[in-house]
C-alpha cells in the first residue's frame, strides 16, 4: 500500500496495525509443476502476532500490499517494509558475572552499554 510498493518473497513488512508480517511465497514464482497460477492475491505469508499453537494463519495479499480491495483499508494491509526498533543495551553484574539486558529496567542493569563503549 506504500507508494509503488511491490511485495517481495523473503522480506518482512509492517501492517497498517503495526504488526510484523513475513512474505513467504509468491504463487507466480512458486507454483508447483510449472503450472500458471493466476490469483488476484498471489502473495502469501503470515503475521507474527497471529501465530497460534497449531501454526500460523496464512494471509494473502495483492502485490501492492492490499489485503482486501484497493479502496478498502484493512488492518492487515502491508504498508511499508519492516524496520526493527532500535535497542538499548545495559550491563549488569549478578553473582560476580556480567550480563547484558535489552530494553529493560532490570534491577541489576547498572551500566548503559553506550557509556561503556565510548
The answer on 21 and 75 residing in a single domain is yes
pLDDT in tens, 27-53: 777 766 555 555 677 888 999 877 777
What pTM was estimated for this model as a whole? 0.63
pLDDT in tens, 60-97: 899 899 998 777 899 999 999 999 877 666 666 667 77
Helix, strand, or coil here: 71?
coil
Structural domain including 101 reads 86-118
Whether 64 maps to a domain, the answer reads yes
Split into its structural domains, the chain has a count of 2
Whether 32 maps to a domain, the answer reads yes
The answer on 32 and 77 residing in a single domain is yes
Whether 44 maps to a domain, the answer reads yes
The answer on 17 and 57 residing in a single domain is yes
Whether 98 maps to a domain, the answer reads yes
Amino acid at each position: 500500500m506504500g507508494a509503488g510498493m511491490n511485495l517481495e518473497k523473503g522480506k518482512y513488512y509492517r501492517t497498517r496495525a503495526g504488526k510484523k508480517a513475513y512474505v513467504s511465497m509468491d504463487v507466480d514464482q512458486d507454483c508447483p509443476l510449472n503450472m500458471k497460477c493466476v490469483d488476484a492475491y498471489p502473495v502469501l505469508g503470515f503475521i507474527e502476532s497471529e501465530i497460534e499453537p497449531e501454526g500460523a494463519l496464512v494471509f494473502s495479499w495483492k502485490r501492492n500490499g492490499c489485503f482486501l480491495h484497493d479502496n478498502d483499508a484493512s488492518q492487515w494491509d502491508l504498508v511499508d517494509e519492516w524496520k526493527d526498533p532500535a535497542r538499548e543495551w545495559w550491563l549488569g553484574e549478578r553473582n560476580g558475572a556480567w550480563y547484558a539486558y535489552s530494553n529493560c529496567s532490570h534491577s541489576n542493569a547498572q551500566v548503559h552499554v553506550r557509556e561503556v563503549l565510548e
